[in-house]
């Protein structure tokens, strides 16, 4: 226990001392590199969508969230995270092979080693933090209303969906993945009208409601919400990953003039500002 506490303190100091680099510098540089890769300009071919750079940059931006949650991760939480990781792999594999529940899609870039040739091994680091960030933001925004699970859980699910309305259009714009808007997933999916939100079919968002519900309910059972709220009060950087999300995908959507996702990213930014979490301190040299 003493070793774990010492490691947690060191990680806490590491993030605290480098908040600007992690929460501002990395997402802005990441946006430039992703845009340069998508447009094939100002970047050497070997670095175009290099999977190690993508995963490394994502992992760095996730550090504030991971370090913030670490003191609260016991056996129950670790088990739930393990189950959610398996769920993320399973639902993505089903999605890439059947088109359910998100719609027919395929990855447009190399995201590193693939599980069964279909699912990136790094998938959990992309999916799970979206849910955790949405949960933490809602705890702050809801205040005392967060005590009621019937308020807390639907609010988080809606926030996860809002985040995907920012993420997916940006990811499609730079070619991370692509949807086939004419294909119908099997015969059991009730619709595929070709109607899309910046290249993302409506079926994707229906699928995200399903996945978000599973993930949020599991997360809600894994952690005591009151412990998460107390940790938020004592850890200034815990939502810095969401700051990175707003900057990274807000910039990418803005470059492609996708103004609805930009507005939704700004809405998340307003939520962070309202909760006093869009407060990343500038480094001494600025």
Summarised one tens digit per residue, pLDDT across range 139-183 is 999 999 999 999 999 999 999 999 999 999 999 999 999 998 876
Least Cα distance to 180 among 169, 189, 168, 192 occurs for 192
Least Cα distance to 258 among 159, 171, 194 occurs for 171
The two tokens of residue 255 are: 């470059």
Sign of CA dihedral 16, 21, 27, 30: negative
Determine the Cα–Cα distance for residues 48 and 46; give it in Å rounded to an integer: 6
Q: Which contiguous run of DSSP H or E holds residue 31?
A: helix 26-39
Angle between helices 240-255 and 259-274 (to 10 degrees): 160
Question: Pairing relation of β-strands 196-197 and 177-179?
Answer: unpaired
Q: What is the mean pLDDT of the chain?
A: 92
> What does pTM read for this prediction?
0.94
Q: Which parts of the chain have pLDDT scores under 50? A: 187-191
């Amino acid at each position: 226990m003493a070793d774990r506490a010492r490691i947690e303190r060191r990680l806490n100091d590491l993030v605290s001392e480098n908040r600007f680099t992690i929460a501002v510098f990395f997402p802005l540089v990441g946006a430039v590199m992703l845009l340069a890769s998508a447009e094939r300009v100002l970047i050497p071919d070997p670095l175009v969508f290099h999977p190690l750079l993508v995963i490394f940059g994502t992992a760095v931006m996730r550090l504030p969230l991971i370090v913030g949650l670490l003191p609260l991760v016991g056996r129950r939480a670790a088990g739930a995270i393990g189950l959610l990781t398996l769920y993320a792999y399973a639902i993505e594999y089903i999605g890439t092979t059947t088109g359910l529940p998100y719609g027919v899609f395929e990855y447009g870039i190399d995201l590193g080693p693939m599980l069964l040739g279909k699912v990136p091994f790094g998938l959990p680091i992309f999916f799970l933090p979206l849910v955790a960030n949405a949960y933490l933001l809602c705890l702050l925004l809801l205040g005392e209303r967060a005590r009621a699970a019937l308020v807390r859980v639907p609010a988080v699910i809606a926030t996860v969906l809002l985040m995907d309305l920012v993420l997916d259009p940006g990811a499609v714009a730079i070619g991370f993945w692509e949807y086939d808007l004419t294909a119908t997933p099997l015969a059991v999916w009730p619709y595929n009208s070709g109607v899309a939100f910046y290249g993302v079919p409506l079926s994707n968002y229906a699928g995200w409601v399903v996945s978000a519900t599973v993930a949020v309910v599991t997360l809600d059972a894994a952690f005591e919400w009151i412990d998460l709220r107390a940790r938020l009060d004592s850890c200034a950087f815990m939502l810095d990953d969401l700051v990175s999300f707003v900057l990274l995908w807000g910039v990418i959507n803005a470059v492609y003039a996708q103004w609805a996702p930009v507005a939704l990213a700004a809405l998340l930014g307003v939520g962070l500002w309202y909760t006093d979490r869009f407060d990343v301190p500038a480094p001494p040299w600025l």
